[in-house]
Structures are given as structure tokens and as C-alpha cells.
Structure 1
Amino acid sequence: MMTKAIDTERFRTYADSFEGQLVLPDAEGYDAARKVWNGLIDRRPALIARCANADDVVRSVRFARENNLLVSVRGGGHHVAGYAVCDEGMMIDMSAMRTVTVDPGARIARVQAGALWADVDAAAQAHGLATPGGEVSLTGVAGLTLGGGVGYMRRKYGLSCDNLLAVEIVTADGQWRRASERENSDLFWALRGGGGNFGIVTVFEFRLYPVGPQVVTLNPIYPFDQSRSVLETWRRFAETAPEEASTSFGIWGIPEHPDIPAELHGTPVCLLDGMFIGPVEQGETLFQPLRDVGEPILDLGGPTTYLEAQQGFDEFMQDGDLYYWKSLYLDQLSNEAVDTMMSWVKRRPNPRLLVIIRHLGGAVSRVAESATAYQNRKAQFMFSIDGAWSDPAESERNIAWVRGFWEAMNRYSNGGVYVNFPGFGENPQHLWQSSYGNNYRKLVAVKTKYDPTNFFRMNQNIKPVAQTGN
């Protein structure tokens, strides 16, 4: 039944022109349509508009404006804060728009906003090409890219947003626009790291690079009591690592998997993770010292295809599990920071709580801080606490631990977070100002120009001038 907040006659006119599917709360598929990846998110929109094309997006934005509806935008639906779904408003769902077309001669991929990175990887690898995506191939292209996009090729080719050539976008006034370095360049600047603040991107155009099909992965898993020696070896490796290698250090519990002996499931461990995208022999030689730090419990790395490497963590990030992730940037990995980290990880309340430190630098750091909205280019590491569990009874304890750990590590950071891993965006005004630093004022200006009423606010929200009082 249509909610009273929506004018019935206007809805009929909108529905008659809509080419996709409109899902109301009494529809059979409503509960499935409103669910997102993070099972902690349980919201009920008044209307779900599953768009078939950009014209549907335009119609939906205009209809939402006419009826003063809160709008959320779903791409892949994988943001940990659940921005894709709202209560009582309208979810504009892009998930049916997943077409990826590749021009191998120009090395350009044209990607619809509902696509997952698996879609992009498969289409591009058919031509021996790739663009920097994330670390889980089931992640949505749109959210990851708009928030920056940290993946396995970051040190060689930068972030996902660094490889954007253009976008097609529907802004808050219901107008279709193209944005690039030449067209609406201020909007294009803001979209590269500024989140979903400025409209609904319907198409992304990415630069592609020759990659694969063979790469070398790094994934030795060591006993937890070897954490310090493994971390020290990795930290020294990172100081001189070539840009073809993007690596991380983590502390986790061995996940449940049919290929892993059951008696090892949940065992606390430290691990190294990464990818080398240069010649296979060079990668094997480069990674060997990291595989020989001690006696690994398991070693899941080695030569493989790029597609397989991109999918390696997919099954450990299941839809419907419960997630809470927070992050920080570290300019250096000091001994004091390591001491604090080790004191906390010994008290992890759940073996699935992953603590990971990603090595940055390389191509990420060569882009000027002011060149895109994405900040913290000079940070050498990104520290992330990725909480995951399945029992709702554990939620309060696990979230409290992640928050406490994050606060303890905050003293070693400038307070900025990777905006794709913000927890639930607590204390948003301070959080986003800290995260965007000197770029924040320009983001406010672009937001004020393209969305002066803050129509798009289910996101890493940058408030326009009228709402900030600036």
C-alpha cells in the first residue's frame, strides 16, 4: 500500500513512465530488495525504484523531489554503514544496471553503476586489461570508487578514483550531466573521493592497463605468537618494495573453509596479503623472504590468475553477516603504535575480527592532495579494523571493542579515515572534516553548487553552506 507521504496521482504518472520495477512494502520481493550486504542494517524504505536505465534515475530523482522524500542510492549495496537503504523514504536501486563494455584499443571500460568489480574484472581480463578495484570482487564499483578505492594495484596504478576518465551523473535538480576534466570539472574533482554527495552516477569510464593473466599473490599465515617478527620483516620489506607489489599485514582467526582442516578454524594467526603484477618469476623471488619468516601454518599464495586473485576473499565476506569497520591513516608505523595494536589484538572478542595494515605510497602518493577530493595521499599506511560476526548477540561487545581500539590508535593518526570504512559515520561533522582536511571547504562549495538543499544526504555527508552556516 502506498504511503501517505507520496501523492497518489503523481505516483501513477511516475509509475507509468518507469521502465524498471517499483517495489512497495506489500510486494512479495520487498524484504529481499531492501536488504544490503551488512546484516546489521535493517531499514524499510517506502518505495524501492529498481532502475533500468539513466532515464529511470532522472524520473526517480524528480519524483522524490516533488514528494519531499528522503533518498538513498544503492549501487552494489556493500558500504559497511548501509547508506544504500533508508527508512520511510525512497531507495533508488541501480543493481540491475550492470553492463560493462571495454574498448581494448583505447583501453577504456564503460561501467554502469550497478556493476560489481567481478563484472569489470571479467570484461577487462578478456582483453588482458584491468583497472584498480577493491580487494573483494563482489564489492560494488560505484561506492568503492566514489570513496577512493583502495585495492591490490594501488601502488602501481593508484586508486580506483585516480583512474576515472569521466562519469555520467544525475544531479539533485534531476538533470543528466557528464563530468570529466573538461566538463563540469569541479564536480568531477569532488566525485573522486567525495562519496555520494553530488548526485547519482549512472556510468563510470575507467582507464585500463595491461595486467595478467598471471600474477603472484602473497598469503602466508603464521602462528599468532610470531606476529611481531612477521610485522617487523614486512615493515622493512615495505620500505623498499617496488610499486608492482601492494601488500598488507593482518591479524585474524583462520576462517572456516572446507579446504582448511576443521581443527584450525578460529585459530588466532598473523598473515601477509598482497599481489605482485609484474613478471611472475620476479614476484616469486620478491615475496619468498616474506614466506620464510617462520614456519607458516598455511601458505595460500603463489602464481595464479588475476581473476582468481581478485576473488580470493569473496567467500569470507558473505551477504547478511554482521559488519562494523573503522579505519585510520598512519604516516608511519611507529614502535609505540605497534605496541598499542598488539595490546588490543590480544583481547579480540571474536576470531573473525580482522586487523589489517595496508601499505600505501607509490602511485597513490604521487597525486597531489588537492588534485582530487581524496585526502591523506602522503600517509604510508592505512590501518583498518574489520569487524565481522554472525550472531546478533555479539554485536554490542564487538562494536564496543572496535570503537575502543580505534580510539586508542587515533593518537598516531591525523584523525582522518578512509571514508569507505567509517564505522557508522559517528560524529559526522568532525569525522568528514578530519578526513577531507584542506579539501573540505572546496567540497562544501561544490555541494552547495550542485545540491544546495542536501537532497543527497544518505552518504558521507558534506553539508552545503545553507546547512553549515558558513
Structure 2
Amino acid sequence: MAAVGDPAAAALRATFEGEVLVPADGGYEEHRRVWNGSIDRHPAVIARCASVADVRAAVRFGRDHRLTIAVRAGGHSFPGLSTCDGGLLIDLRPMNEVRVDPAARVLDAQAGVLLREVDERTQEHGLAVPAGIVSHTGLAGLTLGGGIGWIMRKYGLTIDSLLSADPVTADGDVVRAGEDENAELFWGLRGGGGNFGVVTDFRFRLHPVGPQVMAGATFWSMDDAEEVLRAHRDWITDCADELMTIVVQRLAPALPVVPAELVGRPVIAVAACWAGDVDEGREVLQPMRDVGSPVLDLFAPKPFLAHQQMFDPSFRHGCSYYVRSCDVDVLTDEVIDVVAEHGRMITSPMSSIALWQLGGAVARVADDATAFTGRSSGFTFDINGNTPTADGFEDQRQWARDYWTALAPFHTGVYVNFLMEEGSSRVRQSYGDATYQRLRALKQAYDPSNVFRLNQNIPPD
């Protein structure tokens, strides 16, 4: 251990309900690893918290020993900010209790839960909280950055359904934040990331969804990209809030539902979910499915729970991941030309782009109501340069950078959860000047020493 001796770790372990692991302990290798296989870091101490008391003890331990503190829930941070070298890793995964009150339509979830665990419990009652599209993502990190997903156009971002959150602050104290209690902190937690403390518990409003939805994807050859993108642009103009789409470019994956002759071919797909009546959704989706000459159509009535896991095989644990992201307002012909050109350059079976449609309920919340910014944007680009192993990873990272650079004339912002370690100016850009300054003042109030700095950091004012 580089920063703290064994006696100190032993003292923490003696008061801990969960596990305290150091490099010599069994289980350390398993629990130091994160989802992004390109990240290989070795914390000095891993505190696997089983209770709020454990989190408080861990925060105080890290602060008192002046350790870099990383906080991990699901561990899906693209740049690996949910782990560290030589510091303290506060692992929240053991805190994974989910409680659903179907009558009140309220969800209480601890910080270690994954989206799949939430969906499994809420869908028993035909309810859902707006969340992401990969089921092994952690709910906590997704929420604190904003939270985009399949039903956001109908019900808003994940933070728009957040009723309260309970962070452990840098002093080791527990605070409740909601609209009528510590309201400024509640504002900052909704988009400001992990800058203000370790949130241990979340309470959400639930919404009626499923259990069956009309959802899936239609695929075309990448040769048809321009035609598909223009048709998609026209089709979603003034569409109902129930419709959410993601345009995907990639090499057709080797999955049971993909014909063998299509595997490895460059394709463009329009994936969608209709958060409403299945028959109505079938009617709304049909015009897009009829465009040109699709090579595969996977739209069908299906459990919402299954649709939430559709992208899981494309984002497996242990592969190498790199992302560049930006928002754009409109899919102009010039933007479409860039998308078509760079999509045809994909060479890795795991590289892809996801072009998220925004608008709807997301855009009807005032920009200053939460720390999340970019509500008026039309689309978010998520450009993934990924590989199954380290082989070829640098080439795919460069492809993602080049794609992003080609879109530079059209950038209007960036979603903070899709940032790599890109520097303070990009963090500031993701919030805009007014929100950034407000967040700095909040940081000064709750974490003036910047204890929680291993994140998309907002330094104290």
C-alpha cells in the first residue's frame, strides 16, 4: 500500500460492517476491476460498504489519510473515474436494496443497484423510472449526471423523477436533499455528478410503462445511410413524446437474431421504443420500417425489461472502451454527410455511434431547474471507439476522435456522463458559465477542500 499502512486499514476493518480489502487480500483482484477493460488501476484500499455507517467511516478514513477517493456504484465510468491508483475506492455495490411502493408509485433505491435490478422490481407493477439503455449500468452515476434513456421523451431525464437523495458529505455527515430540504444541494445533485458527496439512497417517482412495449430496431446497409438519416429526420419531426429513437452505426453483430450472412457487414439502424399502446406504436413505427430496403427488422411487441437489455451484448465487461460526445441542434444535410462518411470507416466489431433523439419532456424543464444543461439540444452523439481487447484500440480511439472533430462545426454542448478526462474547460463547457459558477459556489459550501475530486470535477469557488 502506497499511501496508508496495514495498521490503519486494520483499524478501519475493525469498525466496518462490509469488507475492507488491501492488495494482499483474496478478492482484491476481482473488486479492483471496472467495466472498461482499458482501465487497470490498483487502489491501496477497497472499502466495500454495506451500510450508510460504512460510507461515513470510509469517507472520514480517506479524508484523514489524505487519500484520493474514488466512488464506484456500477463502475461504468468511461474514463475510469470510479477507481484509482494508490488511493481509497469506496465500493457501493453491496448496497443494492430496492423498495417499490406501487400504490404511491415511488421507488427507494440504494446507490449500489444496477438498472436491471431496478427494472426487474418496478416492471412487476408495470412501472419504470426513466434510466439508461445498458442494464448493468449503475443507477447512481447515471442519475447524478442527468440520465438519458428509452422513456425520457415521455417522462424526462432520470433526475426529473428524482424526489430526494441522501449524500454523505466530505465531513462524513448525512444530508437529505429534496425540493423542500437543502434545495440548492438538490439542484446540484441533479446533473452535477459526484462533486458534493457520496449519495447512498435515492427516491424516485415511478411512471406507467409496459410490461409490453412496441420496440426494437430496423437495419439497413451502411450504403443507404444518407437515405435512412434523411427519412429518420423527417419521420421524427413533431413526433409524439411516446416515441424515442437512437440511430446506430456499427458492423452487424454476431448475435442469434442476426443472419450469418449479415454478420460483420457495415449497417445503420434505427432503434426505437414506443412508451404507450402497443398497437398505436406499431402504426407509428411502420413508415420508418418501410424506408428503402431494410436488411433486418427486429421490431415487435416485447417486454420493456427485454428491450432495456437490448444493447447489453455490445457493452460487455472487460472490453476496451473510448467515447467522444457532442450535442447538435439539427440533423442538417451537412451533419448527415459527416455521419454517413465516418460510419463507413468503422472497422472494429465493437465500435459504434449512438445518435440519441432528445426533445419532448426533456426540453420542457427549464434550463436552470437542475444542474443538467443541454435540454434544448436536438440530439446527442455518443461515438464509441471500442475493441474486444487492447489490440487495435488506439486505431479505434483515433476513429472516434476524427468523427467528433468532423462534427465540430455543429457542436452545441456535451453530456457530462459521456466525457472522458478532457480537462476543466470541457467540464465547464458541459454546464455553461452560469450553471458552472453556481455549481462552484455549491462545491465551496459542501466540499471546500475538494475531497471528491475524482470525477468531472468542479473546483470550489
- Asked if TM exceeds 0.5, the reply is yes
In the alignment, which residue of structure 2 is the partner of 1:155? 153
Alignment of 1:442-461 (within 5 A): 442-461=438-457
In the alignment, which residue of structure 1 is the partner of 2:427? 432
Alignment of 1:330-349 (within 5 A): 330-349=328-347
Deviation at 1:269, TM superposition (A): 0.4
Q: Distance in 1 between matches of 2:91 and 2:382?
A: 28
Deviation at 1:9, TM superposition (A): 4.6
Deviation at 1:157, TM superposition (A): 0.4
Q: Distance in 1 between matches of 2:40 and 2:156?
A: 34
Are the aligned partners of 1:349 and 1:397 in contact in 2 as well (CA < 8 Å)? no
Aligned-partner residue type, residue 72 of structure 1: A
Matched, 1:56 2:49: no
In the alignment, which residue of structure 1 is the partner of 2:409? 411
Aligned-partner residue type, residue 434 of structure 1: Q
Deviation at 1:263, TM superposition (A): 3.1
Deviation at 1:7, TM superposition (A): 5.0
In the alignment, which residue of structure 2 is the partner of 1:279? 277
Comparing 338-347 with 181-190, greater Cα deviation is found at 338-347
Q: Distance in 1 between matches of 2:93 and 2:216?
A: 32
Deviation string for 1:42-62 (max 9, x for gaps)? 000000000001100000001
Are the aligned partners of 2:386 and 2:397 in contact in 1 as well (CA < 8 Å)? no
In the alignment, which residue of structure 1 is the partner of 2:67? 69
In the alignment, which residue of structure 2 is the partner of 1:421? 418
Give the ranges of 4+ consecutive aligned residues of structure 1 lying more than 6 Å apart after TM superposition. none
Alignment of 1:272-421 (within 5 A): 272-414=270-412, 416-421=413-418
* Residue of structure 2 aligned with 1:32, choices 13, 30, 33: 30
Q: Structure 2: where are the runs of 5+ without partners?
A: none
Aligned-partner residue type, residue 256 of structure 1: A
Aligned-partner residue type, residue 457 of structure 1: R
* Residue of structure 2 aligned with 1:223, choices 221, 224, 233: 221
In the alignment, which residue of structure 2 is the partner of 1:174? 172
Deviation string for 1:159-190 (max 9, x for gaps)? 11111000111011111111111111111111
- What SS is found at the alignment partner of 1:420? helix
Aligned residues: 460
Are the aligned partners of 2:193 and 2:455 in contact in 1 as well (CA < 8 Å)? yes
Q: Distance in 1 between matches of 2:258 and 2:153?
A: 31
Deviation string for 1:294-344 (max 9, x for gaps)? 222111111111111111111221100111112111111111112222222
In the alignment, which residue of structure 2 is the partner of 1:254? 252
Deviation string for 1:12-39 (max 9, x for gaps)? 3321110000111011211110111100
Q: Distance in 2 between matches of 1:123 and 1:356?
A: 28
- What SS is found at the alignment partner of 1:328? strand
Deviation at 1:4, TM superposition (A): 5.6
Q: Distance in 1 between matches of 2:23 and 2:407?
A: 43
Matched, 1:184 2:182: yes
Aligned-partner residue type, residue 148 of structure 1: G
Deviation at 1:224, TM superposition (A): 1.1
Alignment of 1:199-218 (within 5 A): 199-218=197-216
Are the aligned partners of 1:349 and 1:401 in contact in 2 as well (CA < 8 Å)? no
Deviation at 1:8, TM superposition (A): 4.9
Deviation at 1:260, TM superposition (A): 2.5
Q: Distance in 1 between matches of 2:3 and 2:352?
A: 43
Q: Distance in 2 between matches of 1:329 and 1:248?
A: 14
Are the aligned partners of 2:9 and 2:45 in contact in 1 as well (CA < 8 Å)? no
Deviation at 1:201, TM superposition (A): 0.5
Q: Distance in 2 between matches of 1:398 and 1:329?
A: 21
Deviation at 1:82, TM superposition (A): 1.1
Are the aligned partners of 1:7 and 1:67 in contact in 2 as well (CA < 8 Å)? no
Q: Distance in 1 between matches of 2:394 and 2:143?
A: 30
Q: Distance in 1 between matches of 2:198 and 2:120?
A: 25
Q: Distance in 2 between matches of 1:399 and 1:24?
A: 33
- What SS is found at the alignment partner of 1:366? coil
Deviation string for 1:221-254 (max 9, x for gaps)? 1111111111111101111210001112221111
Provide TM-score, normalisation by structure 2: 0.97
Are the aligned partners of 1:215 and 1:279 in contact in 2 as well (CA < 8 Å)? yes
In the alignment, which residue of structure 1 is the partner of 2:88? 90
Alignment of 1:99-138 (within 5 A): 99-138=97-136
In the alignment, which residue of structure 2 is the partner of 1:468? none
Aligned-partner residue type, residue 415 of structure 2: Y
Are the aligned partners of 1:267 and 1:351 in contact in 2 as well (CA < 8 Å)? no
Q: Structure 1: where are the runs of 5+ without partners?
A: 466-470
In the alignment, which residue of structure 1 is the partner of 2:15? 17
Provide TM-score, normalisation by structure 1: 0.96
Are the aligned partners of 1:218 and 1:287 in contact in 2 as well (CA < 8 Å)? no
- What SS is found at the alignment partner of 1:397? helix
Q: Aligned in 2, Cα 1:10/1:24: closer, same or farther, shift over 3 Å? A: closer
Deviation string for 1:398-446 (max 9, x for gaps)? 11121121122121012x2111111x222x2110111101311101111
* Alpha-carbon RMSD: 1.2
Q: Distance in 2 between matches of 1:26 and 1:8?
A: 10
